[in-house]
Structure 1
Amino acid sequence: MEPPSGAAENSKLRHVEKDVLIPQIMRDRAKELCSDKVRAFTKCCKETGFLMVVKCREENTALKDCLVGYYSDPSFYEECKAEYLKQREEYRATGIKKKRQKITSNI
C-alpha cells in the first residue's frame, strides 16, 4: 500500500528540521530584528576591549532580552516554521536551494 500524499505529509517535520533548521531561521531573523541592540553591544565591546564583561552589561542584557523574547514567542516560531516549509516546498519543486539574505554587520 502506498503512503498517503498531500498537504499533511508535506507539513510533517523531521527531528533535524524542528531542532536545527527552524531554530536557525529563528536566530537569523531575531538577529535582524534586534540589529540595533547587536550594533550597540558590538560598538561597546570594540570601544572597551577586555573590560567589555563589566562595561557592556547593559547592552548585553538588552541584546539577550530582545533575542530571548523572540526565541520564546510561539507565534514567532510558527512564522519561522511557515517560512521553512515554504522554502522546503520550493526546493522540492525546483531542486534549487534558496539562500536567505542576511543583514551584513561588522560583528
Structure 2
Amino acid sequence: MVDLKDSEQHLRHVEKDVLIPKIMREKAKERCSGQVEDFTKCCKDTGILMVVKCQKENSALKECLTTYYNDPAFYEECKMEYLKEREKYRNTGIPTKKRLQKLPTSM
C-alpha cells in the first residue's frame, strides 16, 4: 500500500510538475467531455472564424478544466493514481503502456 506522507517526500520535481499534472489534464478532459465536444464541434463548423465564433464554448471549456486544475482533492486523487502506477512499475519493471497491451498468442 502507498503511504501518502512517505511518498510525498520521494516525489521528484518532474513527478510533481510534469507527470501528475499530465494525469490531471487527461482526467479533466474526460470529465469535461461535454464541453470538449461542444468546442470541437464549433471549431469544425466555423473554420477560420472559430476564434470569434467559439468564445462561449471556449470559455465553458476553460472554466470546467480550471475547476479541476485548482481542486486540491482532484490533485490528490491524481497523485495517488500516479503513485500506484509508479509502485506497479517498480515492482514489475514493466511500464503501464506495455502492461495494458495484449500479449501475443502463440499459434
Counterpart of 2:45 in structure 1 is 47
Please state how far the C-alpha of 1:34 moved relative to its aligned partner: 0.5
Counterpart of 1:78 in structure 2 is 76
Counterpart of 1:104 in structure 2 is none
Q: Secondary structure at the match of 1:13?
A: coil
**2:34 aligned to which of 36, 42, 65:** 36
- Offset from partner CA, 1:33-58 (integer Å, 9 cap, x none): 10111010000000001111111011
What is the TM-score normalised by the length of structure 1?
A: 0.83
Figure out how many residues of one structure are paired with residues of the other and give that number: 95
Q: Which amino acid aligns with 2:60?
A: A
Q: Whose helix proportion is higher, 1 or 2?
A: 2
Please state how far the C-alpha of 1:98 moved relative to its aligned partner: 1.0
Counterpart of 2:86 in structure 1 is 88
- Offset from partner CA, 1:42-99 (integer Å, 9 cap, x none): 0000000111111101100000000000000000000000000000000000111113
Q: Please list every run of 5 or more consecutive structure 1 residues that lacks an aligned counterpart in the other structure.
A: 1-5, 102-107
Q: Please list every run of 5 or more consecutive structure 2 residues that lacks an aligned counterpart in the other structure.
A: 101-107
Tell me: CA distance 1:62–1:48, structure 2 relative to 1, closer, same or farther (3 Å).
Answer: same
Q: Which amino acid aligns with 2:11?
A: L
Please state how far the C-alpha of 1:10 moved relative to its aligned partner: 4.3
Q: Secondary structure at the match of 2:14?
A: helix
